[in-house]
Structure 1
């Protein structure tokens, strides 16, 4: 299924079950992610995609959107710094890429095309994260306690 055909629909519609309203004491991030799930995919901004990807929410729907943006601007500053969306994408668990090997291949090719000078402007450790993604057979990173997200 081409997930980009559903740009007029929200994650609540496409990624059941629909989430209940966040608890009154929920953090700002939890409330934000809940709100983003109700937004049509076509209205999600790069920062929205960064938040959803970083929290590992509906990855089969948001990763293709992010990669589409990255193909046009690989070091897009989505939220914090140049390249932050690309780094969020490559830090997703390897299991997220098993149903999207073609998109993982696009990301690997994109990383391979980046000039070394561009990598030097990224935060410390970024080159290693990009390299780790390109060496994974199906893309992504091995799940770890540091990348696991809970509470959403």
Structure 2
């Protein structure tokens, strides 16, 4: 995917040109949080913000590259849940995304190869990640 100029300073709402609604009218706390994050500039996202949105499969073409940068610094980067929760969310991304984004899959695969034993010990689910067409 060709990312637009200055994409990291923009919001998901701007990048996708879609308004999903007013966070104050959201039916649940999770929906409210996701709607709020869609209005937050990507360059201000925390690890927890990335984990939350990636876990909901929202904005993946923009958030996976940001997550990869965080994982390069610390493969077991931690949001608000537990050590490695960002990686866990990334590995659970739907296979369809990975099939359409080989470069991102390759980058994550290179990062996790040396740590597969630790990932297995933590019982992180890698099925969707390794079920894509590039893992064969």
Aligned to 2:119: 119
Aligned to 2:129: 133
Can you give the 5+ residue segments of structure 1 that lack an aligned partner in the other structure?
140-152
Larger helix proportion, structure 1 or 2? 2
Shift of 1:26: 1.3
What is the SS of the residue equivalent to 1:74? coil
8 Å Cα contact 2:93/2:128 also seen in 1: no
TM-score by length of 1: 0.77
Can you give the 5+ residue segments of structure 2 that lack an aligned partner in the other structure?
none
8 Å Cα contact 1:78/1:84 also seen in 2: yes
Aligned to 1:93: 94
TM-score by length of 2: 0.86
- CA distance in 2 between partners of 1:27 and 1:35 (Å): 12
Aligned to 2:54: 53
8 Å Cα contact 1:19/1:34 also seen in 2: yes
RMSD of aligned Cα (Å): 2.2
Counterparts of residues 1-152 of structure 1 (less than 5 Å): 1-2=2-3, 5-22=6-23, 24=25, 26-114=27-115, 116=117, 118-119=118-119, 122=122, 125-126=123-124, 129-130=125-126, 133-134=129-130, 136-138=132-134
- CA distance in 1 between partners of 2:11 and 2:91 (Å): 24
What is the SS of the residue equivalent to 1:68? helix
